[in-house]
Structure 1
Amino acid sequence: MTHLKSGAMVSSSEMLISAAQKCLCPRKKRLCPSSCLEVTAQIIAVDLGVKPALLYDSNGASPYQLQLYLHSLHESGVVCNSLRIMSINDNIFIINPDIMKSHLDELLESRSLHLIDVCSSRKRPVLCAFEKSAEEMVRSFLKVFINKLDLVVLEEELYKDWNLCTFFGILLGYPASYWFDQTKGFENCLCMTPLVVCTVWVRWQIHEIKQRCCLYSFSVPEELWSDVQSHIQRWTEHLRERFSKQTVLTDLCFSRDTVTLPCVTL
Structure 2
Amino acid sequence: MALETWRVLFRECLGGRGAQYCDEVAPLLVAVDQGVKPSLLWDVCTADTSALLALLNQAQSKSLLVSKLVLVELGLDVFIVNVAAVIRTLSGITGSTPTWLIDISSATPKVASNENHQELRTHLNSIIAQLGNATADDEENSPLGSVGTHPQNGVDGASHSNRAGTAGNGGVIKAVQIKLPDDLNLSTIFGCMIGYPHIYWWEGESGGNSLSGMPLKVFKLSANCSFDGTVVELYSFSIPEALEGDLRPGIEHWGNVVNVRIEQAGSFSNAKFRCDSVLCLSVAL
Give the TM interval when normalised to the shorter protein: 0.7 to 0.9
- Give the stretch that moved more between structures: 106-115 or 256-265: 106-115
| Equivalent-residue separation in structure 1 for 2:99 and 2:175 (angstroms) | 27
Task: Name the counterpart of 1:124.
Answer: 108
Q: Does 1:82 align with 2:80?
A: no
| Equivalent-residue separation in structure 1 for 2:93 and 2:234 (angstroms) | 20
Q: What is the one-letter code of the residue matched to 1:124?
A: T
SS in 1 for 2:230: strand
| Equivalent-residue separation in structure 2 for 1:66 and 1:196 (angstroms) | 34
Work out the percentage of aligned pairs sharing the same amino acid: 27
SS in 2 for 1:29: helix
Q: What is the one-letter code of the residue matched to 2:4?
A: E
SS in 2 for 1:78: coil
Task: Name the counterpart of 1:198.
Answer: 219
SS in 2 for 1:210: coil
Decide whether the 8 Å contact of 2:99 with 2:112 is kept in 1: no
**TM superposition shift of 1:113:** 5.0
- Give the stretch that moved more between structures: 13-22 or 77-86: 13-22
Q: Deviations over 1:193-238 (max 9, x none)?
A: 11111111122222xx313321001000111111101010111111
Task: Name the counterpart of 1:63.
Answer: 49
Decide whether the 8 Å contact of 1:204 with 1:210 is kept in 2: yes
SS in 1 for 2:73: strand
Alignment of 1:33-182 (within 5 A): 35-111=21-97, 114-119=100-105, 122-130=106-114, 131-145=117-131, 146-148=133-135, 150-155=174-179, 158-181=180-203
Aligned counterpart for 1:188 among listed residues 209, 222, 225: 209
Aligned length: 245
Aligned counterpart for 1:256 among listed residues 265, 275, 279: 275
Q: What is the one-letter code of the residue matched to 2:125?
A: R
| Equivalent-residue separation in structure 1 for 2:242 and 2:97 (angstroms) | 23
| Equivalent-residue separation in structure 1 for 2:49 and 2:35 (angstroms) | 21
- TM-score, normalised to structure 2, is 0.81
Q: Does 1:29 align with 2:17?
A: yes
Decide whether the 8 Å contact of 1:114 with 1:129 is kept in 2: no
Note the residue ranges of structure 1 that are not aligned, 5 or more in a row: 1-10
- Give the stretch that moved more between structures: 225-234 or 143-152: 143-152
| Equivalent-residue separation in structure 2 for 1:211 and 1:220 (angstroms) | 27
**TM superposition shift of 1:112:** 5.2
- Give the stretch that moved more between structures: 218-227 or 237-246: 237-246
Decide whether the 8 Å contact of 2:218 with 2:276 is kept in 1: yes
Q: What is the one-letter code of the residue matched to 1:162?
A: L
SS in 2 for 1:87: strand
Aligned counterpart for 1:20 among listed residues 10, 32, 35: 10
Task: Name the counterpart of 1:5.
Answer: none
Aligned counterpart for 1:228 among listed residues 213, 223, 247: 247
Note the residue ranges of structure 2 that are not aligned, 5 or more in a row: 136-172
- TM-score, normalised to structure 1, is 0.86
Q: What is the one-letter code of the residue matched to 1:20?
A: F
**TM superposition shift of 1:106:** 2.1
Decide whether the 8 Å contact of 1:107 with 1:113 is kept in 2: no
Decide whether the 8 Å contact of 2:100 with 2:111 is kept in 1: yes
Change beyond 3 A, Cα 1:115–1:20: same
Q: What is the one-letter code of the residue matched to 1:136?
A: T
Change beyond 3 A, Cα 1:116–1:12: closer
